């Protein structure tokens, strides 16, 4: 009967695409879910394959649903984990995973020199290669913004842009401000943004493009967005916000390596975790287009980057930020909807 023919055909397909590939396995394989941009993360994972002979099966996040598609899968798959490692592009969602009991603690040899502020004290996530939340500023602007409050300066009314705070690193930054400033001040700041006609864009990339095109004067973006536009010769510059003594400091967003609880390939997962947390990976990510700041001391980096020790870092507890982020979601949503 035809039905069985097709059923057989599906099985054949599964064999071709699935099992066929397993023949290459020299020393096992590892499944990793990745929120860091595929353009930057895939070369690292390919190098890992070459150096260790362990095959990597990866699922990447998309730009528009950044950290959501993959996160949802991790949560939905909780009862029967498919992933071994989660490469988060920021620690907040790693915190959510910890709270939901999806990740497992991991003690890393390689990460010992990474400052404690960028690591979960129990090892449920470990930070590496970071982005900084910086201002991208069009060069023709005379009065460069110095701190985040430039957004609420009436002089800049309607001249600034920020990515949708419901998504990505912008959400994290807002939550971080809540933890540093306290709810009242942060909420007032949000309202002031609106009163000062700050434009909302769909992504940091779009904000950077707006500023590069001179549509708006400045925007908070990720450091890689700014460096990218600078490298392609756009008339923009990068400003680390709130660096003055007593200032809030610059919000740092490290990548985070997370070991998944019940990982089907534990041994390979541990090898991959150490690989991601090595100095060599940090060096590669610093020289790649994403220009991420190494967290290990003494790693080579391109000239545009300031070493982490030279940046005044916003003192946050990422666990508090994660909790605050969930707490302020209804407010942010309402804020966006109005």
Partner 1 sequence: MSERLFLTVIVIFLMAVGMSPLLFMLFESMSVDGHFSLNAYAEVLQTDRQWTLMRNSLTLASAVALLTTLVGVPIGILFGKTDLPFRRFFTILFVTPLLVPPYISAVSWSNFFTHAGGFSFQFLFGLPGAILVLFTVFLPVPMLLTIFFLRSIDPSLEEAGRVFASWGKVMRGITIPLIFPAIALSFMLVFILSFGELSVANFLRYDVYAMESFTQFSAFYNFKAATAAALPLVVAALLFLWVEEVFLHKRRVGSHAHFGREVQLIPLGTFRVWLFLSVAILGFTIVLLPLITLLIQSAGLSHYIDAFDRAGDSMLRTLLFGVFAATLLTFFGFFTGYLIHKRTLKIWRLADAATIFLFALPGTVIGIGLISLWNTPWTNFIYAGPAIIIFGLLAKYTALTSKISAVQLSQISPSMEEAAQVSGAGWFRTVVFIVIPLAWRGLAVAWIIGYIFSLRDTAVTMLIYPAGQDTLPIRILTLMANGSPELIASLCVIMILITLLPAALFWLILKTIIKVSP
Stretch 293-322: interaction string toward partner 1, x if CB under 8 A: ------------------------------
Give the binding range for partner 1 (CB under 8 A) out of 79-87, 177-185, 190-198, 246-254.
79-87
Q: Which two tokens stand for residue 94?
A: 């790693």
List 28, 47, 52, 57, residue binding partner 1 (CB under 8 A): 57
Task: Count other Cβ atoms within 10 Å, centred on residue 4.
Answer: 8
Find out whether 168 and 28 touch, Cβ atoms under 8 Å. Answer: no
The reply to whether 90 sits near partner 1 by the rule CB under 8 A is no
CA 295 to the chain's CA centroid: 14
- Kindly tell me which of 35 and 248 has the beta carbon lying closer to partner 1: 35
245 part of the interface to partner 1, by CB under 8 A: no
Part in contact with partner 1 (CB under 8 A); list of ranges 7-15, 186-194, 250-258, 312-320: 7-15
Beta bridge partners of 250: 313
CA-to-CA distance for 72 and 13, rounded, in angstroms? 27
- Other C-beta atoms lying within 10 Å of the C-beta of residue 76: 9
Q: Pick between residue 56 and residue 148 the one whose CB is nearest to partner 1.
A: 56
Task: Tell me the closest approach of the beta carbon of residue 313 to partner 1, in angstroms.
Answer: 24
| Choices 9-17, 131-139, 154-162, 184-192; region in contact with partner 1 by CB under 8 A | 9-17
Q: How far apart are CA 223 and CA 61, in angstroms?
A: 20
CB of 214 to partner 1, least distance (A): 10
Q: Are the C-beta atoms of 140 and 214 separated by less than 8 Å?
A: yes
Applying CB under 8 A, which part among 36-44, 135-143, 185-193, 313-321 lies near partner 1?
36-44
Return the H-helix or E-strand segment holding 34: strand 29-34
What binding mask, one character per residue, do residues 259-298 give for partner 1 by CB under 8 A, x or -?
------------------------------xx--------
6 binds partner 1 (CB under 8 A): yes
How large is the C-alpha radius of gyration of the chain?
21
Q: What long-range pairs does 42-47 form, CB within 8 A, spacing at least 24? A: 43/284, 43/288, 44/276, 44/281, 44/284, 44/285, 47/284
Are 250 and 133 in contact by the 8 Å Cβ rule? The answer is yes
Place of tokens 């598609």: 69
3-state secondary structure 124-184: CCEEEEEEEEEEEEECCCCCCCCCHHHHHCHHHCCCEEEECCCCHHHHHHHHHHHHHHCHH
Choose between 40 and 251: whose C-beta lies nearer to partner 1.
Answer: 40
Least CB distance to partner 1 at residue 2 (A)? 7
Position among 106, 118, 151, 167 found at the interface with partner 1 (CB under 8 A)? 167
What residues from 94 to 153 belong to the interface with partner 1 (CB under 8 A)?
96, 100
Binding-site size, partner 1 (CB under 8 A): 60
Q: What values do phi and psi take at 44, rounded to 5?
A: -60, -45
Q: Concatenate the DSSP letters of all residues of 16-33 into one string.
A: IIIIHHHTT-SS-EEEEE
Near partner 1 by CB under 8 A: residue from 202, 267, 297, 304: 202
- Decide the pairing of beta strands 85-88 and 236-239: unpaired
- Which one of 25-33, 119-127, 190-198, 300-308 is the stretch in contact with partner 1 (CB under 8 A)? 25-33
Between 219 and 228, CB nearer to partner 1: 228
Determine if 28 is a binding residue for partner 1 (CB under 8 A): no
Nearer to partner 1, 20 or 307 (CB): 20
Q: Quick count: other Cβ atoms within 10 Å of Cβ 49? A: 14
Instruction: Name the residues that contact partner 1, by CB under 8 A.
Output: 1-3, 6, 9-10, 13-14, 16-18, 21, 31-33, 37-40, 42, 55-66, 68-69, 71-73, 75-77, 79-80, 82-83, 96, 100, 166-167, 171, 202, 205, 213, 224, 228, 289-290, 326, 329, 333, 337
């Amino acid at each position: 009967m035809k039905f069985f023919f097709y059923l057989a055909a599906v099985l054949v397909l599964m064999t071709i695409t699935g099992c066929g590939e397993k023949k290459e396995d020299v020393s096992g394989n590892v499944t990793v879910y990745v929120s860091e941009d595929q353009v930057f993360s895939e070369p690292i994972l390919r190098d890992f394959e070459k150096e260790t002979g362990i095959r990597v099966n990866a699922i990447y996040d998309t730009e528009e649903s950044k950290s959501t598609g993959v996160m949802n899968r991790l949560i939905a798959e909780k009862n029967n984990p498919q992933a071994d490692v989660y490469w988060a592009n920021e620690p907040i969602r790693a915190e959510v995973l910890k709270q939901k009991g999806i990740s497992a603690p991991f003690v890393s040899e390689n990460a010992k020199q990474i400052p404690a502020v960028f690591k979960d004290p129990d090892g449920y996530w470990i930070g590496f290669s970071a982005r900084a939340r910086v201002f991208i500023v069009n060069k023709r602007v005379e009065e460069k913004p110095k701190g985040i409050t430039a957004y609420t300066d009436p002089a800049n009314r309607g001249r600034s842009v920020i990515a949708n705070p419901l998504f990505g690193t912008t959400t994290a930054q807002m939550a971080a401000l809540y933890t540093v400033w306290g709810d009242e001040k942060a909420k007032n700041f949000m309202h002031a943004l609106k009163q000062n006609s700050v434009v909302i864009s769909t992504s940091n990339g779009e904000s950077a493009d707006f500023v590069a095109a001179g549509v708006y004067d400045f925007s908070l973006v990720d450091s890689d967005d700014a460096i990218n536009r600078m490298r392609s010769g756009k008339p923009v510059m990068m400003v680390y916000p709130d660096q003055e003594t007593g200032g809030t400091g610059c919000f740092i967003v490290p990548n985070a390596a997370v070991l998944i609880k019940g990982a089907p390939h534990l041994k390979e997962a541990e090898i991959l975790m150490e690989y991601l947390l090595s100095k060599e990976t940090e060096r590669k990510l610093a020289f790649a287009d994403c220009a991420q700041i190494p967290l290990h001391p003494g790693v080579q980096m391109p000239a545009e980057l300031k070493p982490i020790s030279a940046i005044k870092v916003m003192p946050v507890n990422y666990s508090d930020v994660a909790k605050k982020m969930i707490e302020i979601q209804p407010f942010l949503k309402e804020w966006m909807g109005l």
